[in-house]
Chains A and B, each alone.
Chain A
Amino acid sequence: EAGVTQFPSHSVIEKGQTVTLRCDPISGHDNLYWYRRVMGKEIKFLLHFVKESKQDESGMPNNRFLAERTGGTYSTLKVQPAELEDSGVYFCASSQEDRGRFYNEQFFGPGTRLTVL
């Protein structure tokens, strides 16, 4: 079974440009999460989808970030316009729906390393 995949693995852009990151969760996983680690900091939660709905977007830093999950399958995270402080590694994770199981572990992708120059 394929794991969580993310594209691209690396992206280098200039300040002010737009970048779109993609995440393909494990097939059948309703929950999809975005996290990021900026330089020297801890991994931080950004937002959580349940199917196509945003369940929690409390971690989104500002309105330059837009996440979508049309159709409840893959998700995109767009940064527009990118700023220097957006540089870091962006992780996507997915987990099964809650079917009465107590805890559904989150499976993480390898991340996208974003560098804004």
Chain B
Amino acid sequence: DAKTTQPPSMDCAEGRAANLPCNHSTISGNEYVYWYRQIHSQGPQYIIHGLKNNETNEMASLIITEDRKSSTLILPHATLRDTAVYYCIVRVARNNAGNMLTFGGGTRLMVKP
């Protein structure tokens, strides 16, 4: 699975958009971009995933560049409860075989009042 690079930490003002970048320059054509987050003292939580088109759900938006070498997770109106470590994971979507997640260091997002 392709390696990802994320900034170790970011700050965001409450109510503003949080834009979390991820570089995955070695991504293969059949690899997807997944985002999970871990709020303090909780287990990781799935946010969103995509291949090449931009995706949006009730939690966030995912913008993937045309060359797919980088992506940005957008939390449109960050709240204090969005303070967490955000993980960008790139991997092939598989069936039951090989579904484990490979977590890197992630980005520690601090949302400030």
Using CB atoms and an 8 Å cutoff, list the residues of chain A in contact with chain B: 4, 30-31, 33, 35, 42-45, 48, 50, 55-56, 59, 91-93, 95, 97-98, 102-111
Contacts and interface: CB of A to CB of B under 8 A. Distances in A.
12 contacts: A43-B44, A44-B103, A45-B100, A45-B102, A55-B96, A92-B43, A103-B93, A104-B99, A106-B46, A108-B42, A108-B45, A110-B43
A104 B95 CA distance: 9
B7 interface: no
Contacts of B32: 103
User: Looking at chain B's contact residues, is the secondary structure mostly helix, strand, loop, or mixed?
Assistant: loop
A98 B43 contact: no
Q: How large is the interface on B (under 10, 10 to 19, 20 to 34, 35 or more residues)?
A: 20 to 34
Contacts of B97: 55-56
B76 interface: no
